[in-house]
Amino acid sequence: MPVNLVAPDPKSLLPVAGVALGVATANIRKPGRKDLLVIRLDDGAKVAGVFTQNRFCAAPVVVAREHLSAPGAGSMRALVVNTGNANAGTGRNGLAHARQTCADLARLLGCTAEQVLPFSTGVIMEPLPVDRIAAGLPACVADLRADNWFNAAQAIMTTDTLPKAVSQQVLIANSTVTITGIAKGAGMIHPDMATMLGYIATDARVSLPLLKSALAHAAKHSFNCITVDGDTSTNDAFMLIASGKADMTELNDADSPAYRALRDAVTQVAARLAQAIVRDGEGATKFISIRVEGGRSEDECRKVGFAIAHSPLVKTAFFASDPNLGRILAAIGYAGVGDLEVGKIELYLDDVLVARDGGRNPDYREEDGQRVMRQSEITVRVVLNRGGISATLWTCDLSHDYVSINADYRS
């Protein structure tokens, strides 16, 4: 079961003016489940995106990047997402299939194929069933409505056990701005932007350069702060949409309080979605926050945090509720911070000081560590005592079920 995660209340998911969503059951891989999503945007909407850095990136990633970098790319009209098939490792045919999907949807919506962004998730190295997608697109279009975010979150799930969706409103320049987002992911989760599929929309009016800036900030402080298993997917994408329908002056000053308020609100939504992915990590039984403090740079804090978060030995110890905490010290030591002074480091489990002065805290008691390790939510705090910078990351434990889920994934 997910770690303290519940499905969102559909009524809590706020419509974003200028954005409509439609889903269909296209039988792409498994019959009888929602597996195709169309997000239609009103004319004038702006879209920014970041994608996986995996060199074996999927065909839809290649095509979406092309469309976003083309002249006039600020006028996207639709996004189309299928689950069940990643269209990755599919060569030239995969690219042709991604482009055909864009063209098929463009004909239905009355726009150009270049104004459509494709996304896929699912099994790698299998041909995309474009005939099933084409057959399902009219049902998606017929289903388009502004209050369809919950169904949209369901339609992009793969091994997720629950849909992930968040809404928030914020007052910006005396105008109420709405932000709603969905994401999917439970395995192949590791930051190298991105780490899943994520779509956030707002009705704010914001210039395209600032929209890209807000997206980069949100990605860095949310989806690039999580890991489940250390595997970066071929299909990862995180998109930020601004419909421009809010009654406000367009934001075009990166130093303005109004822009920072929008950026921070988008980041908050993204962080809640990112944490939901970790809570729903494949086979996860524990949600673990790793806070590294007292560093000289954010980069070195993240290195230490991810060394802990990625370690199979650390993650299995958390699953077993075994305070074998020397594994954490070992991970800190190989994190790649060459001049780290281990004698200055303090290690805490929640409020329990475990290690200091280069070794075990003389006052540490095994039963205190065991008490914390048995919790479903745990905070690991590492104090480097070499500067004033900190970073927080989120991960989960590694259980028997993770192996079972991935061993049976194609069954």
Catalytic amino acids? 195
d(CA 183, CA 200) in angstroms, rounded, equals 8
Alpha helices, DSSP H only, in 245-322?
257-279, 298-310, 312-320
Q: Is-contact 103 67, C-beta < 8 A? A: no
Compute the distance between CA of residue 48 and CA of residue 73 in angstroms, rounded to an integer. Answer: 9
**For residues 138 and 100, what is the distance between their CA atoms, to the nearest angstrom?**
15
Q: Where are the alpha helices (H) located in 171-290, listed in sequence order?
A: 208-220, 257-279
* Neighbouring residues of 257: CB distance < 8 A, sequence distance ≥ 6: none
Sheet with 287-295, edge to edge strand ranges: 359-360, 352-356, 346-349, 377-383, 287-295, 389-396
Contacts of 240 by beta carbon, 8 Å cutoff, 6+ apart: 47, 48, 49, 200, 201, 202, 211, 214, 215, 218, 266
What order do you get walking across the sheet with 19-24 strand by strand? 19-24, 36-41, 78-85, 116-123
